[in-house]
Amino acid sequence: MTAIRENAPAKINLYLHVGPLRDDGLHDLASLFVFTEKGDDIVAEAHDALSLHIEGPFAGALAGHGAADNLVFRAGESLRARFGVAAGTRLRLVKNLPVAAGIGGGSADAAAALRALAKLWGLSLPAQELRALAFNLGADVPACLDGAPVFVDGAGEKLSPAPALPPVWLLLVNPGIEVPTGPVFQRFDADNPAPPPAAHPAGVEGRIDDVLQLMNASRNDLEPAAIRIAPEIGDLLQSMRAQPGCLAARMSGSGATCFAVFTDEAAAHAAGEYYKKMNRWAMVSPIASG
């Protein structure tokens, strides 16, 4: 059978409001996820065993980790166990996105693997059950299944479609450091022992016709904690906000990748080239409509 290829786009939290710690050890969140048109790639093809091969610019960052530690491989094992699939598959992950970067790379990769394997194996799974399986892999995986703007609540298991977004361009820049999620949340918990309930900013229920207004009415609650761990994030945000044409800039997820919002494509690309000349990883993409 022909190999199945699925894109695993970068995930961006336009905002991320973090609530109290739950009994299960996770936090209640309120976030708006959007996705780029570019990202990692997953290729699945029939093989005699389930295996994972990683290549691409950031493959080295995953070297030394066994396949069982990778969400892509675990996605394959979970789906195979759920349906009792005996067939093997060779999974190939082309890692174009930085690792531990706050842009959902591993989660998007796992979601893309689930989509690719379902097609390769001819499986049919109700959306709600697929989301539950995805959530067992990671809190962000369900929201990455469709690659379309989505409101996220709970710890990531509650999803609702987001309204149409105006055409905007995102510049993603990574300062060249890895910021694991765990320490950022630990710092947040230490600094916020009793955070208020997570809520979406008012007025987001209708069509979002002004992204700048949305950005001004929201925040990333993990940003201060991440900056305390990695001050380079704060320096990068200050620099991005000074770029011509930038409407707003913010850290995504738990960091360290930051994003800037542009309505002018040329200005976004010019800013991207500025950071590439500084040997920073940078990517420019419109928000994907899904």
Sign of CA dihedral 43, 58, 184, 219: negative
- Three-state SS for 281? strand
Structure tokens at 63: 């070297």
Measured between alpha carbons, how far is residue 79 from residues 89, 120, 131, 138 in Å?
12, 12, 12, 14
Question: Can you list the alpha helix ranges (DSSP code H) found in 90-222?
Answer: 105-121, 127-137, 181-191, 211-216
Catalytic residue ranges:
11, 140
The angle at the Cα of 264, spanning 262 to 268, to the nearest 5 degrees, equals 60
Q: How far apart are CA 126 and CA 209, in angstroms?
A: 33
DSSP 8-state assignment for residue 202: T
